[in-house]
């Protein structure tokens, strides 16, 4: 494996890991809110969260580009406040993959929280635990395998993200080139054998992530 292929692989793994870690607390909190609380606008938020699953990834990418560009509401603020450039940087890759993989985490964690018997939480309340303690000691441990499975699915989705990433971060070798973007670029240039090398790496990593996710889902404590 060439040094470039290694660099692309590590960059992709790093970006996918980071984007998964970034969305994890928000995804878990939102999944719990959707599973356990009734609130105004809940169905709208549920729909918004699912949108990246059904919208063309490039369309999501275009939205992000407008939002995160220097003249965008968020991009302008991030640059002014933290000095962060987003578009055409690794940060753009992280944000694009995070947005695209967020629904998978939320939906899997939501099912995991819904599968926790609410009676257990009620009994824990009568035994002296407040809502936060019940979440930490009862709800979250019982939903943990589902949450891990969701995180692994989100990670796998982040590994393969293409459409939104190319819009927000472009293909810049050594800077924003992920496995998916590099495969596309190599095929465009007619370097099929190198593309197949990266394809093999993608298959192995994605298989491992999805296999682990399924394993966690199957072994969920009921």
Partner 1 sequence: MVFTEAHSVSVELSRLRLPLAHFTLEVDVVLSGRVTGIFGASGAGKTSLLEIIAGLRRPMAGAVRIDGVVLTDFSTRTFVRPERRAVGYVPQEGALFPHLSVRKNLLYGFSGNHARPTGLTFEHVTGILEIAALVERRIQTLSGGEKQRVALGRALLASPRLLLLDEPLAGLDAPLRDRLLPYLARVRDEFAIPMIYVTHSPDEVLALCDDVVILCQGKIETRGAPAELFMPAARPRFERRPT
Distance CA 137, CA 123 (A): 12
Distance CA 63, CA 16 (A): 21
Question: Binding to partner 1 (CB under 8 A): which residues in 81-120?
Answer: 117, 119-120
How many of the other CB atoms lie within 10 Å of CB of 168? Answer: 30
Contact between 125 and partner 1 by CB under 8 A: the answer reads yes
Q: Is 69 helix (H, G, I), strand (E, B) or coil?
A: coil
Contact between 36 and partner 1 by CB under 8 A: the answer reads no
Distance CA 51, CA 47 (A): 6
Contact between 128 and partner 1 by CB under 8 A: the answer reads yes
Of the listed pieces 84-92, 136-144, 157-165, 181-189, which binds partner 1 according to CB under 8 A? 136-144
Q: Which of 21, 29, 127, 203 binds partner 1 (CB under 8 A)?
A: 127
Beta carbon of residue 176, minimum distance to partner 1 (angstroms, whole number)? 42
Let me know how long the chain is: 222
> In the structure encoding, which two tokens stand for residue 22, read together?
């970034």
Q: Which of 130, 174, 193, 219 binds partner 1 (CB under 8 A)?
A: 130
In terms of CB distance, is 102 or 216 closer to partner 1?
A: 216
Q: Which of 141, 196, 204, 208 binds partner 1 (CB under 8 A)?
A: 141
DSSP H/E element including 70:
none
- 139 alpha-carbon distance from chain centroid: 22
SS3 content of the chain, % helix, strand, coil (to 5): 80, 0, 20
In terms of CB distance, is 28 or 49 closer to partner 1?
A: 28
In terms of CB distance, is 142 or 205 closer to partner 1?
A: 142
Report the interface residues with partner 1, using CB under 8 A. Answer: 117, 119-120, 122-130, 137-138, 141-142, 221-222
């Amino acid at each position: 494996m060439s040094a470039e292929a290694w660099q692309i692989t590590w960059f992709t793994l790093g970006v996918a890991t980071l984007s998964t870690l970034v969305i994890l607390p928000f995804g878990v909190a939102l999944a719990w809110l959707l599973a356990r609380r009734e609130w105004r606008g809940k169905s709208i938020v549920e729909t918004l969260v699912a949108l990246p699953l059904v919208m063309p990834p490039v369309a999501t990418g275009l939205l992000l580009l407008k939002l995160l560009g220097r003249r965008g509401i968020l991009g302008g603020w991030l640059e002014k406040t933290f000095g962060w450039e987003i578009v055409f940087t690794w940060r753009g890759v992280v944000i694009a993959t995070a947005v695209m993989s967020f629904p998978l985490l939320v939906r899997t964690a939501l099912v995991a929280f819904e599968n926790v018997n609410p009676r257990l939480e009620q009994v824990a309340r009568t035994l002296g635990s407040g809502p936060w303690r019940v979440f930490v000691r009862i709800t979250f441990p019982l939903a943990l395998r589902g949450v891990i499975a969701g995180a692994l699915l989100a990670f796998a989705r982040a590994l393969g993200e293409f459409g939104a990433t190319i819009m927000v971060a472009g293909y810049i070798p050594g800077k924003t080139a992920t496995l998916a973007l590099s495969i596309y670029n190599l095929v465009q240039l007619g370097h099929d054998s190198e593309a197949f090398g990266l394809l093999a790496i993608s298959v192995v990593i994605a298989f491992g992530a999805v296999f682990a996710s399924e394993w966690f889902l199957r072994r969920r404590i009921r």
